Structures are given as structure tokens and as C-alpha cells.
Amino acid sequence: MAEIGQDIAKAKALLESGGLVGIPTETVYGLAANALDPMAVAAIFEAKNRPSFDPLIIHTDSLEKVAQWVEYIPDQLKTLADVFWPGPLTLLLPKKAIIPDLVTSGLDRVAVRIPSHSLTLSLLQQLDFPLAAPSANPFGYISPTRADHVQKQLGQKIPYILDGGSCQVGLESTILGVEGDEIVVYRLGGLELHALEAMVGAVKVKTHSSSNPSAPGLLESHYAPRKPFYVGKLQELVPSFLEAGKKIGVLSLIENFNQVSQDLQIQLSLSGDLKEAAAGLFASMRRLDEAEVELIVAEWMPEHGLGPAMNDRLKRAAAQG
């Protein structure tokens, strides 16, 4: 099993020698390695069982360092970086040759993010290379939001997990790039669209290219529990599965069902707060996936704030195979 702790010097030494370390961010935990070392990056793909056509995000701690890894930052994106970094925002930027092709799956843009987590920022400040870090889960499964989630699934394959507590945001970063003059959103995530649009005006959302092999984060089935997972109207789903004699787990925003045992249902936020709901979403999906149930039913979130990003994850979790 991996050692879990808060020893930045230890994490740094492992990363400098080409090793893998689980790191906390405000979105989800990452599985990190030296992004400039192709062997270290290859070890990420192997540990995650991740297809090599799925490019990785690189993480660093300052715009000065970003300038070392990318050719330039388009003006519109620079405005967003100034406002939202450190934070749950990933920008696709033209890469310099120093970034190995394995990181970008041969694409000419590299995904870059400055995460907002004090422990990881301190680590990044002490490194002279960026960290390539996908979410620290086996490919296709739910992303981890606590150190013990990483331990459970990748603990056999990595020496160390930096423990930064529960992720505050709980959804992966929002991914943006520019196409011509337009800002394009490739993945809905922890940074709300209206916050972006308040800064730069309307953006184009292009998250449905499920056939696009360059971005499996957009594959139809992803972020998925192992148990059958249904999303719809709980008022209909719950009684119909109960009548069919099924043992179900229920994931709702607020609603509670008397017919279902309390420990097999989770309300994401009793006050209907979508930030609170997002922060608990993945841990709740995991808990129900591990519970004594045959299947899980969940409901769609309201279409505002982080609702659309949560619905994106629920939809992919429900898509089978």
C-alpha cells in the first residue's frame, strides 16, 4: 500500500526521481509525475490503465512558469488566467517542444492548470518542472476526492499519497481553449460558466464530441460506478425498482424516501446548495457503489451554477460501456 502523509520533501524527492505521487487539488486528487520526463509520464498511463490517446493536464504554480512550457497565452485566455488561477480552470495552450508528445497525445496544445490547494502549491513551488496529473482513479471510474479513495484504487501501484483532506470543489476543472476568436469549453467543470461569461462574454460549449478520441474525458461512458446507475425522476424510479424487488441506493439533492433504508440514500445538500452537492457527489457515488445495493438511482440537478457540470458527470456515469 502507499504511504499517506503531508511530507512535501518526500513527495518532491519521489517526483524528482521519476516516481508517481497522489496529490490533492481543490477539484479531485491527481496522479502526478514529472511532465518533462517521458518515462515518468508513461508510468502514469500504466498505473491508471489509461489509453495513450488521452492527453494529460500539466500543473504548475505561476504564470512565469507557464511561460516556460507554452508558446503564448491568447489574450482572452490570459484574462481568465489572471482572474481564476489558482483555481478549477484548465487552458489548452500551444505547447513548446520541451513538453513530451506523450503528455499531449501528439496534439499541439497542452492542457495547463494552476490548482488552488496550499499543500500542492507549496510542492509545485519547489519543483522546476510541471506535474502531469490526471485524476487518480483507474480509467473510466469515479474520480477520487479523498486520499483514501486514491489508496483504495491505486495504493498498490504508487509509493506515496499527499493527504490534503477532502477536495473543496469536488468536480474536475473546466477545460477551455480558443478556436479562431471564440472561447470554447471542452469540459464543464468546477468553474461555473456564468463566472467565465461575466468576464469574457458568451462562450461556445463543445462537450458532446463523444467520438473525439483526443478527449476521452468526453467519452459517453466515463466517471462510472460499477453498479448499474440510473438518472431520472426519483418519484418514478424509486417506487418502480422497489416494486420490482430491487435493493437500491438513492442519490438525491434534497429528497428523502421513507421506503428506503436511511443508510442506503444520500442527500447531497439539504439546503439545495449546488456547491455543497458538487463537493460530495463523487464520494457519495462511491459510497453507494460499495454499499449492499444492486443498483443506484440518482436525479438530475437544477440547470444553474454547478448543476450542468454535475449533470454531465451523472449522464456519463449512467451510460453503460
Binding site for ligand TXA (CB under 6 A): 25, 27-28, 30, 54-57, 90, 92, 104, 107, 109-111, 113, 115, 133-135, 172-173, 175, 186, 214-218
Contact flag: residue 104 with Mg ion (CB under 5 A): no
Pairing state of beta strands 89-94 and 109-113? antiparallel
User: How many Cβ atoms from other residues are within 10 Å of residue 96's Cβ?
Assistant: 13
Q: How far is the CB of 254 from ligand TXA (least distance, A)?
A: 26
Residue with cell 470554447: 184
Q: How far is the CB of 44 from Mg ion (least distance, A)?
A: 11
Contact flag: residue 174 with Mg ion (CB under 5 A): no
56 binds, among Mg ion, ligand TXA, none (CB under 5 to 8 A by kind): ligand TXA
Give the range of 69-77, 129-137, 173-181, 239-247 binding Mg ion by CB under 5 A.
129-137
> To 5 degrees, how large is the angle CA 240–CA 300–CA 236?
15
175 binds, among Mg ion, ligand TXA, none (CB under 5 to 8 A by kind): ligand TXA
Contact flag: residue 252 with Mg ion (CB under 5 A): no
Contact flag: residue 145 with Mg ion (CB under 5 A): no
Report the residue number, 65 or 286, with the smaller CB distance to Mg ion: 286
Residue 22 sits at φ, ψ, to 5 deg, of: -80, 130
Report the residue number, 20 or 293, with the smaller CB distance to ligand TXA: 20
Report the residue number, 104 or 168, with the smaller CB distance to ligand TXA: 104
Report the residue number, 111 or 293, with the smaller CB distance to ligand TXA: 111
User: Whole-angstrom Cα distance, residue 166 to residue 154?
Assistant: 17
> To 5 degrees, how large is the angle CA 39–CA 41–CA 45?
110
**Residue 183: strand, helix, or coil:** strand
Give the range of 36-44, 84-92, 127-135, 197-205 binding Mg ion by CB under 5 A.
127-135
316 binds, among Mg ion, ligand TXA, none (CB under 5 to 8 A by kind): none
User: Whole-angstrom Cα distance, residue 96 to residue 108?
Assistant: 9
User: Whole-angstrom Cα distance, residue 188 to residue 251?
Assistant: 21
Residue with cell 453507494: 288
- From candidates 34, 120, 135, 153, binder to Mg ion by CB under 5 A: 135
User: How many Cβ atoms from other residues are within 10 Å of residue 306's Cβ?
Assistant: 27
Q: Are 41 and 100 in contact (CB under 8 A)?
A: yes
Report the interface residues with Mg ion, using CB under 5 A.
135
